[in-house]
Amino acid sequence: MDMATYVRETAINKQAYAKLREQIRRDYRGQYVALANGRLIATTPTFDEAKEAVQRLDPVPEYFLIFPADMEPAFELIYDF
């Protein structure tokens, strides 16, 4: 992923999270949340299930977040080796 894509997608996802934060914390406590393209993609009991939900998208987004609903997501770039 190039840095321009990362910066753009981060801004979109931060804005979406700011709007959805209270709903996520209230409705999905104990779940993992997948957020991509500025949308809530899935809420699942496990990280792996959330990742699988993202990977089923067509096209699969270059940048996405998976985080526990009761925690703030990390918007920093993390490489998956």
Cβ partners under 8 Å of residue 32, min gap 6:
43, 44, 45, 46, 47, 49, 50, 66, 67, 68, 69
The structure tokens listed for 2 are: 């190039």
User: Which one has a higher pLDDT value, 7 or 30?
Assistant: 30
Q: What is the pLDDT of residue 63?
A: 87
pLDDT band at residue 81 under the 50/70/90 scheme: very low
Q: What are phi and psi of 40, to 5 degrees?
A: -75, 115
Question: pLDDT tens digits for 48-63?
Answer: 999 999 999 999 998 8
Q: Which residue has the tokens 């699942």?
A: 44
**Mean pLDDT over each residue of the chain, to the nearest integer:** 91
The pTM assigned to this predicted structure is: 0.86
Percent of the chain at pLDDT > 70 equals 93
Q: Which residue has the tokens 């925690």?
A: 71
